[in-house]
Structure 1
Amino acid sequence: MTATLIYCYDPMCSWCWGFRPTWTQLQKALQPLIDSQQLTIQPILGGLAIDSDVPMPEEMKEKLENTWQNIQSSLGSEFNFEFWRTATPRRSTYPACRACYVARDFGLEEEMYHAIQEAYYLQAQNPSDLDTLSTCAEHIGLKAEGFQKAMQHVKDEQLLEKEINQARHLGLNSFPSLTLLLGDHLTPIPLDYKDHTNMLENIKKTLS
């Protein structure tokens, strides 16, 4: 029986950005299990914040900037704090999530995920804006016009909302999070942001 490691994320979740190097190491370490068909990895979008055109309140901007500083000091992640001076942030991550959903159909979900993170955290661009997401799409080889039509389709059909409901049904309420599905049994995998080895051992133990 093949187990499924479910990775729940939001491309605008700063802790997901902090977790990225360790998550990359874990995926590489799991490759032998994937090659032997004991394991598959399934990303699922968590959806931090619904669609909104309202500028983010100053209090929330300050709170999130402090979160970035905390992640930088604890994990060494790089952030471009100019975002908080030059952008007009909105508490809206659904557009970025939809972009990853669209890219999944082209086998480019991870590439889109990384492009959005780098635009946001390193280049101080706003992934709540369709222009930013279209640029990310072009960066990974998608055509902007087709991408924007697909984004509208995902929104009209509420495909993202259906995936978010699935994540909640699985008990995935924080991002990032990992859970191992074997048969109909779910085993949450505790996160270690600095070292992938404990997570690897937990996964192997559950599979054995």
Structure 2
Amino acid sequence: MNNSQLIYVYDPMCSWCWGFQKCWQKIQDALANEVDIIYKVGGLAADSEQPMPVSMQQFLQQTWQRIGQQTGAKFNFDFWQNCQPRRSTYPACRAVIAARYFNKERVMLGAIQQGYYLSAQNPSDLNTLVSCAQQIGIAADEFLAILQSEQLEQAFQQELAYVQQLPVQGFPSLVLCHKQQYFAIAVNYTNANAVISTIHCILAD
């Protein structure tokens, strides 16, 4: 255990989080021995069965293009033809918390992101989330039992409430807890060293 924590606030279906992934990995590698790295879901969009409006679909496709140009992240635009998009990320958020019970939150996040952005699968759908769980070695029945439990829903709601108390303005966000103070760390999508230097300056204080 370290004296300080670096809290990563994310949503599995946040495209900017996908764009940040490579840079974030470098940050984790550099700081792993200096801070405890904590993952928390932010909950981008509540449960919904309504089809995503066409205007929102067009906006998100433009966002994917911009993120790809800025960060080099890859996107499979077949998603918009092959799937029925919904503005609903809470199911994916619950899924990574469920995977946490198996100590597999981070690999579940990776499976969801790759399924969504590279394989044109829809993480708003339960069958996609079950498939991701099976890919990382979690039995479907065990995963579903936790995913659909009241215990998990309580944990999810508590996590959303906790994140709302942090200095977070969007996803992804980084928050450093050092000497009982919380510091919002500016996210840089292409320069991991800039983020690392900022954190080192605070830790040195």
State the TM-score, normalizing by the size of structure 1: 0.94
**Identity rate, percent:** 45
Give the counterpart letter for 1:31 in structure 2.
A
| 1:199 aligned onto 2:200 | no
Q: C-alpha distance in 2, partners of 1:79/1:166? A: 31
Q: C-alpha distance in 2, partners of 1:153/1:112? A: 18
Q: C-alpha distance in 2, partners of 1:192/1:92? A: 26
Query: RMSD between aligned alpha carbons?
Result: 1.3
Unaligned runs of 5+ in 1: 34-38
Q: Say if 2:94 and 2:153, in contact at 8 Å, map to a contact too.
A: no
Q: C-alpha distance in 2, partners of 1:48/1:117? A: 15
Q: Which residue of 2 aligns with 1:36?
A: none
Give the counterpart letter for 1:124 in structure 2.
A
SS at match of 1:127: coil
| Number of positions where the alignment pairs a residue of Structure 1 with one of Structure 2 | 203
SS at match of 2:37: strand
| 1:189 aligned onto 2:185 | yes
SS at match of 2:13: coil
Q: Say if 1:154 and 1:160, in contact at 8 Å, map to a contact too.
A: no
Q: C-alpha distance in 2, partners of 1:122/1:157? A: 29
Q: Say if 1:48 and 1:93, in contact at 8 Å, map to a contact too.
A: yes
Q: Which structure 2 residues correspond to residues 43-192 of structure 1 after superposition, within 5 A? A: 43-153=39-149, 157-192=153-188
Question: CA 1:197–1:108 in structure 2 vs 1: closer, same or farther (change >3 Å)?
Answer: same
Query: Which runs of at least 4 in structure 1 moved beyond 6 Å after TM superposition?
Result: none
SS at match of 2:112: helix
Q: Say if 1:95 and 1:127, in contact at 8 Å, map to a contact too.
A: yes
Q: How many angstroms does 1:156 deviate by?
A: 6.8
